[in-house]
Amino acid sequence: MKLHLVISGLLALLVAASGYATTLKLDPDIDLLVLDGRKISGSLLKGAEGLELNSGEHQFLFQVEKTLQPVHRATTKHYISVPMIVTFTAHTQSVTIQLPPLLTPGEGHDFDKIADFRLLDEHGGEIISKRDRLVGRYYNTDVEKAMMAYNRNGEIASVPRFALQSHAATEIPSSVDFVLSDTATERLLQLWFHQVDDATRQRFISWIKALRAT
């Protein structure tokens, strides 16, 4: 219980310290795959309406996944878009990915080629961004490694520093599990852990181990 309270207090401090953060609003049809060079587990985002980002440059890889209605057919089709990359600088209160209608397979096919989504702020204004598709030589089932290769090669939406990180720890190790229930608090802490640098991760892990030993 003591550890639970300390962790909750730490999270409260983190949230308070990031009051200037930008909220990335998540559409139910969007599957976020990689954020700032790190793979994101779908379970962390389950039921979440948004993701808090610190100010500064960010890059994420996402796919659109939804059911489409083929023209002149009664059956539906499960559509998964090609992976889309977008890089932008967070300096607004919120960021929303606005997708085109995507109602038919034809519209899905066009989206895969053109990637005509928009990034909007809280006032509906368009946020300047760079976007690309993860296709061709970069397409890989390991999306984290694919993005590292993409960022190393100076492509349209690449961010070189995201190719230089060590990706050895993408989740809080079970050895320092703090036994929180599957709540918004735990999910936010996991997401924070995804975004910080490796040195901060190691300090956090050492701190948790020290608390568990007391």
**pLDDT of 40-84, one tens digit each?**
866 556 556 778 788 889 999 999 999 887 766 667 788 999 999
Domain membership of residue 195 (yes or no) is: yes
Q: What is the DSSP string of the chain?
A: -HHHHHHHHHHHHHHHHTTTPEEEE--TTEEEEEETTEE--HHHHTT-SEEEE-SEEEEEEEEEEEEE--TT-SS-EEEEPPPEEEEEEE-SSEEEEEPP---SHHHHHHHHHH---EEE-TTSPBPPEEEEE--GGG--S-HHHHHHHHHHTT-TT--GGGGSS--S-SS--GGG-----SSHHHHHHHHHHHHS-HHHHHHHHHHHHHHHH-
Domain membership of residue 158 (yes or no) is: yes
Q: Both 60 and 48 in a single domain?
A: yes
Domain membership of residue 3 (yes or no) is: no
> What's the pLDDT score for residue 75?
74
Domain membership of residue 181 (yes or no) is: yes
- Total of domains in the chain: 2
Q: Both 162 and 210 in a single domain?
A: no
Q: Both 107 and 198 in a single domain?
A: no
pLDDT tens for 95-148 read: 999 999 898 889 999 999 988 999 999 999 999 999 999 987 777 778 888 999
Residue-range definition of the domain harbouring residue 154: 20-166
